[in-house]
Amino acid sequence: MKKERKSKISNHLPKKSNERKEALMRIVVLILSGIILEVWYYFVVVLGIVNFFYTLFKAKRMKGLADMSETWNTQAYIFRRYMIFESNFRPFPFTSLQKSMSNFER
């Protein structure tokens, strides 16, 4: 019985250790991904303003600008989920850019 008890305890140790490492990794992710997404955010704001005036004068939206903004939105969502411990899926730049969550609609 003691052997069985030890094996149960040892099975849990690596998981706790992995969770601890993942929690510490979030500090690095917060710094790197946070800076990248913050700079990207200001770029998206500028793109939104450009798209607004383009739409105002041409009466149609620019699909490319809208898609670029949606890519940022998806990456920011993945980042937030990771930072609040909802997911262990690391955000960009630790993984590749993920597919956009929604599509461009006319």
- Residue 96 or residue 12, greater confidence: 96
pLDDT at 99 > cutoff 80: no
Q: Residue 28: inside a domain, yes or no?
A: yes
State the pLDDT at residue 9. Answer: 45
pLDDT at 8 > cutoff 90: no
State the pLDDT at residue 41. Answer: 94
Q: Residue 59: inside a domain, yes or no?
A: yes
pLDDT band for position 37 (50/70/90)? very high
State the pLDDT at residue 42. Answer: 95
Q: Residue 19: inside a domain, yes or no?
A: yes
Q: Residue 99: inside a domain, yes or no?
A: no
Q: What's the whole-number average pLDDT of the chain?
A: 81
Residue 49's domain comprises 2-83
- Number of independent structural domains in the chain: 1
Per-residue three-class SS string for the chain: CHHHHHHHHHHHHHHHHHHHHHHHHHHHHHHHHHHHHHHHHHHHHHHHHHHHHHHHHHCCCCHHHHHHHHHHHHHHHHHHHHHCCCCCCCCCCCCCCCCCCCCCCC
Q: Give the global pTM.
A: 0.71
